[in-house]
């Protein structure tokens, strides 16, 4: 698969597994920080908030998918600008949920985003769990697990 390739996978069953973030050399960390600071100077609205970075993806039987993830921040995306630095693949997930009358809700991105005016499906984010808690379906629903 090339860097520009796109795979569409139907995965009715997804398992999320937290992994440690890859170690960065001091040179790569300094380059990442430098690129991030340049990006923030160009767009002061950027912030270095928490993200779950995809570290691996594999099939789990005919209908399953295992996504490995690590705790990171937006700054790690700057590694894509650093030659020979470790990078993580991008994973985009879209879920289409039609309304009762069959219509889909879409919205336009605001002027302060990276793609002003682009039409897109609604989306959202979830903060990574605290401590050693597992990112599971309850965490994705933002409800505490039942003990």
* Per-residue tens of pLDDT for the chain, all 147 residues: 445 566 667 778 888 888 988 889 999 999 999 999 999 999 888 888 888 888 888 889 888 889 888 888 889 888 888 888 887 776 655 666 677 888 887 888 888 877 788 888 776 655 656 666 666 666 666 544 444
* Residue extents of the structural domains in the chain: 11-101
Prediction pTM value: 0.57
Q: CB–CB of 2/52 below 8 Å?
A: no
> What's the CA gap between 30 and 106, in Å, rounded?
39
Q: CB–CB of 21/53 below 8 Å?
A: yes
């Amino acid at each position: 698969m090339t860097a520009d390739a796109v795979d569409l996978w139907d995965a009715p069953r997804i398992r999320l597994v937290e992994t440690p973030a890859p170690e960065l050399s001091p040179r790569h960390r300094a380059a990442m920080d430098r690129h991030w600071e340049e990006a923030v100077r160009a767009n002061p609205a950027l912030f270095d908030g928490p993200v779950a970075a995809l570290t691996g993806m594999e099939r789990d039987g005919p209908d399953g998918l295992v996504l490995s993830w690590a705790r990171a921040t937006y700054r790690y995306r700057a590694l894509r600008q650093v030659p020979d630095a470790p990078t993580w693949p991008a994973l985009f997930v879209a879920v289409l949920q039609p309304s009762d009358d069959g219509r889909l809700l879409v919205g336009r991105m605001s002027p302060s985003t990276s793609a002003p005016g682009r039409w897109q499906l609604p989306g959202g984010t979830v903060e990574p769990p605290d401590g050693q808690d597992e990112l599971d379906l309850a965490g994705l629903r933002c409800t505490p697990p039942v003990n």
